[in-house]
Amino acid sequence: MKDLIKQLEEYRLKNRLTQNELAKKLGVSCVSVNKWLNEHTQPQKLQIYQIEQLVKTQEVNDK
């Protein structure tokens, strides 16, 4: 899980997104994103899937 959250933070920074903007992309609150990034909570299964799709999209665009 830590790797996925690390990839999410890298995605956020690379795309110059605020935590609020990232939260909107994922359809969650800014508080949720902040808690994930600070390892206070973990995303639920649906959010894990959404994060994986977002990160994969970035990887494809980088190639």
Which domains can be identified in the chain, with CATH numbers?
Answer: 2-62 (1.10.260.40)
Portion of the chain with pLDDT greater than 70, in percent: 98
pTM over 0.75: yes
* Alpha helix (H) residue ranges in the chain: 2-14, 19-26, 30-37, 45-62
pLDDT in tens, 24-58: 999 999 999 999 999 999 999 999 999 999 999 87
| 27: Cα separation from own chain's centroid | 11
**SS3 (DSSP) at 43:** coil
Dist. CA 3–CA 34, nearest whole Å:
16
If pLDDT is split at 50, 70 and 90, which confidence band does 60 have? Answer: confident
Distance CA 27, CA 50 (A): 9
